[in-house]
Amino acid sequence: MKRFIFLLSAIMLTGCSREFVESMYDVNYEPTNRFAKNLAQLPGQYTKDTAAFDALVNSFSGNIEKRWGSKEIRIAGKSNYVKYIDNYLSRTEVNFSKGTIVVETIASTEPKEHLRKAIITTLLTPDNPSQVDLFSSKSIKLEGQPFLYKQVLDEDNQPIQWSWRANRFADYLIAHKLKVKTVDFKKAYYVEIPMVQDQIRIRSYQYASIVRKASRKYGIPEDLIYAIIKTESSFNPYAVSWANAYGLMQVVPKTAGRDVFKLVKNRSGQPSPEYLFNPENNIDTGTAYFYLLKNRYLKGVRNPLSLEYSMISAYNGGAGGVLNTFSRNRTRAMRDLNSLQPNQVYWALTKKHPSSESRRYLEKVTKFKKEFNANKT
């Protein structure tokens, strides 16, 4: 218990990074109520004033709890999008892993009209994360291409791009799919909207030209970039974690982002959340970090396949975690790693890595990489 309290105190005092947290604990980066106070900061706000940010996030989670109760706090994460509107009376959760969308309201007056507005907002939310404040109930300016375009079909099996179609589908859902439940002693009206079966593939196509450009620029295979994005965010451009990781490739500004700025781009400082919420910047930065892993931190790994396994593992748990799998002594670790066949390196990194999350991570990425190549043929 003391160690847990120390961890939370250290995070609040120093800021959190994936490497710092994983050096102490195996962490599932999906959002939980327990870690609501340590959410990543808002785009463009409180980049230096951490006290102001902590106050803001406490207020955000407190507003949710006031409306929905302590057991019904939902917050955006790596593979889910959550947005509150209507002074926290209505919300949407898109679960990209399950392919489901739940839109609900606890408004006590004219609940169907509140729900209708929330459905329309969900269907027309733009594909521009920098314009959507995930950590407030601010309204969204509905313009440009919807980020759920082609991933949801209306009652006529048509994609929803325009306001008239979104309005009509909202009316249909309320007339035919409306459900009611009790939330914190309140009546909640909601609808469940299924996403199309190939919703992940549809989102991945949006970034094909960006992935190709980054692949050629840094010499990192396209299939590896796609597999990392699928593992990190399920191609959710709004992905954010309490560990201060942002966007499609879940780049941590203070670690990978800072390294890329300094060692690849010759820039000072670190990327801002706005910078990383831009898909092109995010994929470029994440791929550039792979370039550093390949050509700097793990350049001593001789076998190309062993190097790839090491890079994948290091993207999640750091290069130090990879080497510590083989020995605490860096020179000996590299020697031992190079003495093994690639399948033995894979076995060690998926069975003996200090972090259980990093062990699973390498398995997921290699699986998605195989799936990507199988679907290409």
**145 and 219, same domain (yes or no):** no
pLDDT reported for residue 48: 40
Query: 143, 174, 194: which is the final residue of a domain?
Result: 194
Query: 173, 194, 215: which is the final residue of a domain?
Result: 194
**187 and 261, same domain (yes or no):** no
String of DSSP letters for 281-303? HHHHHHHHHHHHIIIIITTT--S
Residue 55 lies in a domain: yes
Query: 194, 223, 250: which is the final residue of a domain?
Result: 194
**226 and 272, same domain (yes or no):** yes
Total domains in the chain come to: 2
**223 and 372, same domain (yes or no):** yes
- Give the CATH number of the domain where residue 361 resides: 1.10.530.10
Q: 232 catalytic, yes or no?
A: yes
pLDDT reported for residue 135: 84
**265 and 151, same domain (yes or no):** no
Residue 313 lies in a domain: yes
pLDDT reported for residue 126: 92
Q: Measuring CA to CA, how many Å separate 321 from each of 22, 245, 256, 297, 347?
A: 9, 19, 15, 12, 15
Residue 17 lies in a domain: no
Residue segments in the chain with a per-residue pLDDT below the cut of 50: 1-53
Residue 6 lies in a domain: no
Residue 301 lies in a domain: yes
Residue 18 lies in a domain: no
**146 and 237, same domain (yes or no):** no
Residue 199 lies in a domain: no
**253 and 152, same domain (yes or no):** no
Note down the domain range covering 358. 206-376
**211 and 161, same domain (yes or no):** no
**188 and 219, same domain (yes or no):** no
* Per annotation, catalytic residue among 232, 308, 363, 371: 232
Q: Measuring CA to CA, how many Å separate 171 from each of 9, 10, 100, 163?
A: 48, 49, 19, 12
Amino acid at 260: V
**176 and 246, same domain (yes or no):** no
CB 352 within 8 A of CB 340: no
Residue 8 lies in a domain: no
Nearest to 369 by CA among 295, 310, 312: 312
**223 and 305, same domain (yes or no):** yes
pLDDT reported for residue 241: 80
Question: pTM value?
Answer: 0.80
**225 and 351, same domain (yes or no):** yes
